[in-house]
Chain A
Amino acid sequence: MQTAVIRFPASNCDRDALVALEKVTGRKPLVIWHRETELPAGVGFVVLPGGFSYGDYLRSGAIASRSPIVQDIKAKSERGLAVAGFCNGFQVLTEAGMLPGALMRNKNLKFVCRPERLVVANANTRFTSKYEAKSEVVFPVAHHDGSYYADKETIGRVEKEGRVVFRYTDNPNGSVNDIAGIVNEGGNVFGMMPHPERAIDPLHGGTDGLGLFKSILETL
């Protein structure tokens, strides 16, 4: 399966994502520069990596969400392309309207970096099938704008449809309902603030993140 990582000018977890994808697929992912207008044919899974895309000026992910390549990814995701956004990538997905809600400044207004214990809220998605339902995993978080917010109606719908995929056990940022990660209605677009791509190596953050990559890649 050919995978791809989008590189914005100030992406900084692009390498983390590339290493994770190569480790799971055994094949080098493509790196797509942000000025490209179209994904190459044959790409089945795209990662929007963490970082600061365009410096995160205006709002985190706002400028990146208007970039040409994101328009193409959005159009293809509506036809089923699998997309995951981690940290800044999650912010880009909400800004692009590919996932509902928004990521606001952390409740305590400070950047937070620490290993975070999450519960798999829905193990019945394309991104979590390798995890046991209600099991716990540890992924690092590292963000300033990670407080997930959406209006009551949206939260109600997302909850009802089982689209909350991960929840924090010790909410680090004030996210509504401890929401750490969600999927879209089609189940093919996933975003989360924690970094599963930094949890693929016993020497660095543990290996709990591997399950996520294995889950989605198995469906392709």
Chain B
Amino acid sequence: MARKKSEITPEIVAEHGLSESEYDIILDRLGREPNINELGIFSVMWSEHCSYKSSRRHLGKFLTTGDRVIQGPGENAGVIDIDDGDAIIFKMESHNHPSYIEPYQGAATGVGGIMRDVFTMGARPIALLNALRFGEPTHPKTRSLVSGVVAGIGGYGNCVGVPTVGGETNFHKGYNGNILVNAMCVGLARADNVFYSAAKGVGNPIFYVGSKTGRDGIHGATMASAEFDDDSDEKRPTVQVGDPFTEKLLIEACLELMATDAIIAIQDMGAAGLTSSSIEMADKGGVGIELNLDHVPQREPNMTAYEMMLSESQERMLMVIQPGKEQLAFDVFEKWELDVAKIGITTDTGRLVLKHKKKKVCDIPISPLADDAPNYDRPHVKTKKRPVIMASDVHETQDYDDALLRIMRSPNIASKRWIWEQYDRHVMSDTVDSSQSGGDAAIVRIHGSNKAVAITTDCTPRYVEADPYEGGKQCVAETWRNLTCVGADPIAITDCLNFGNPERPEIMGQLVGAIDGMNEACHAFDYPVVSGNVSLYNETNGKAIPPTPAVGGVGLIPDLSKFSTLNGAKSGDTLILIGETTGWLGCSVYLAEILSREDGAPPPVDLSAEKLNGDYVRKLIRSRRVTAVHDLSDGGLAVTACEMAFTSGQGMTLSAPANGPRHGWLFGEDQARYLLSVDANSVNPILATAKAKGIVAQVVGTVGGDRLTANGAFDLPISEIREANEGWLPALMSGDT
């Protein structure tokens, strides 16, 4: 215990990332000065990363309930009901700061961490996705970051044997100093066998299982709650090192033990390791916990209590075991050759008591650590609205062939094959469709059944930057649209809110605006948020990233004989465009790539039109009236048509208006739109029904041949467009550009 007043100096408090006023609260709650172990525990529990102190009050606004929601936010991951007693457990999480400092291990442990969140709850992981943002391609660090992050994601997921089925990758100079690595995991469980983290009972044994505790990752959560500066590389020791082999053993062992009745509660050791796992379990269960740190499996000698409690060594779990079932637990973990130890018991004191080398090294009440954590109402200002740019105000290219090729090989449109070919997309033998098709959502069959989940991740940061509210709506709407495109019923989302420093009112304004916009879309679609994470302080030298609320959506395809992808357009098909086209070029890819401008208001999202149009498209898919479907997003109709042409191997003839500027028609990014390829005989009934429902629908072209043409605007062989689209990333990564 603290021996004298001088042990905790103001410098030590500041080094722990605690403000003076936060330290005063600790003094008040304890009624004395903390010792260094206790200070360390408070500091990680009250870090932004663990306490959500800047975002908590705003996250509380989200729609989090619904008919299919079994568990919303607050547990390791969200849980939804997909019928027949099956449940899907999923979450997305950021690993931004570590991935910038040490790309391979940062990304790998991001994948490992999100998988643990999912199998902790009793689910077998069945799919991984990721949302990646890198700096501009020409930035000196970009290539090594891309190659390290991609190798790390693949190295971990491929070894564990969970398919990486989808994701997105953007490049923008706004991420030069702070890349974003968001990983999502989806798992399958039985709805009546979901595991939670609330400890129960008194005197029940607490088991530690998994890798030994080392000195890696100490203060990782605190690092992830601060800005970077020029010396960020020095933070490398705070990045953890992953071992996918141990993770694989841990998955199998946990699932094996979960099939018995031995586990009362279970929690993975993620950020803030043993500290946050033990405190969360105790707090949720309203019990106390006493640990003897001498029993913690240790990788190196002479570790202090402080180091053990703050270590973020990977692949570790904490569980409360049913008394009398200890031997069963030992047997299972020893079968899988994992370290396992009984390190403590539950108590009725409501306190966290730690013993080390026969001394009491920590004795603090648990409730202030969790419940009384700071909860700030940080000042926030609304982002100033930008003017709407009319298509007629935007210069029309005189060379559409060149414009199309430039857009198709631009960093954010170009094929990401170089990336996803490094991920095992097929392992487990249930991947029906993946990023391999370039499709809208991945489709993963529920093993042994005729149903599937559809999964997607989306975000358009430039829209959010221009208008956080509209942009927030758009992120949610785009996932809903992408799930709809494969014929799924969208069910729920997870999110990863990546922003800058919340202590700046304009950044806080982006966060609040985006949350409000997202929430409006969630309500419009009855599409709740069931899990998520917030990553703030994504800044370097005071420059923040573009606001990036990445959204992961999950939907259900009840019958795998009725789904759709962007593959399947047949020669002779007619192309129908669903949704209204105004030629919106503000914030568009056309504006950025052809005119080097990033200004203007983003396209507004009419949520009732989204719902109406999407529900109609899903119905057409379910009645097998369409041969292929693709939504319109970045780059508008022209890019959508190209992508559909690549997959089907068919050419397309678009009937662009003969008069007036065609750039808005071809490249505008109006929302709520879908391109359908349909048999010529189905055209009239589809248009007639649309009209009756008040849905804008029009014929915009035909399928066939081997060229993409648009009424004289452009006329190019599909092979040439494909070459431009496929060639960019390999050339960048081999250093040829």
Query: Interface on A for B, CB 8 Å cutoff?
Result: 9-13, 15-16, 19, 50-52, 54-57, 110-115, 140, 142, 144, 195, 197-198, 200-201, 203-205
Contact = CB atoms under 8 A, between A and B. Distances in A.
Contacts of B429: 15-16, 19, 197-198, 200-201, 204-205
Contacts, number: 93
A7 B159 CA distance: 15
A195 B420 CA distance: 18
Given A9-B248, A111-B422, A111-B423, 7 more contacts: A10-B249, A52-B244, A52-B245, A115-B436, A142-B425, A200-B429, A205-B426
Interface of B: 151, 154-155, 158-161, 243-246, 248-249, 252, 336-337, 420-432, 436, 445, 447, 560
A204 B431 contact: yes
A90 B252 CA distance: 24
A82 to B, nearest CB: 22
B426 A198 contact: yes
A55 B336 CA distance: 13
A204 B421 contact: no
Which 3 pairs across A and B sit closest by C-beta, in order of nearness?
Answer: A12-B161, A55-B245, A142-B424
Contacts of B428: 12, 15-16
A12 B421 contact: no
A189 to B, nearest CB: 24
B423 A113 contact: yes
B253 to A, nearest CB: 10
A9 B424 contact: no
A9 B251 CA distance: 11
6 contacts: A10-B249, A19-B429, A52-B245, A140-B426, A203-B560, A204-B426
A9 B337 contact: yes
Nearest to B164: A113
Contacts of B430: 204
Nearest to A12: B161
Q: B245, B429, B431, B560 — which one has the most chain A CB atoms within 10 A of its CB?
A: B429
Nearest to B423: A113
Nearest to A54: B245
B427 A12 contact: yes
A10 B422 contact: no
Nearest to B252: A9
A32 to B, nearest CB: 14
Kindly name the residue among A12, A54, A112 whose own CB sees the greatest number of chain B CB atoms within 10 A. A12
Contacts of B431: 204
B735 to A, nearest CB: 14
B160 A12 contact: yes
B105 to A, nearest CB: 16
Contacts of A15: 428-429, 447
Given A52-B159, A55-B244, A203-B560, A142 B432 contact: no
A110 to B, nearest CB: 5
B427 A112 contact: no
A144 B151 CA distance: 11
Contacts of A56: 159, 245
Nearest to B249: A9
Contact of B427 (A57, A142, A200): A142
B45 to A, nearest CB: 33
A110 B422 contact: yes
A100 B432 CA distance: 35
Given A16-B428, A19-B429, A54-B245, A10 B159 contact: yes
A111 B428 CA distance: 18
A113 B163 CA distance: 11
B248 A113 contact: no
B245 A110 contact: no
A110 B159 CA distance: 14
B555 to A, nearest CB: 17
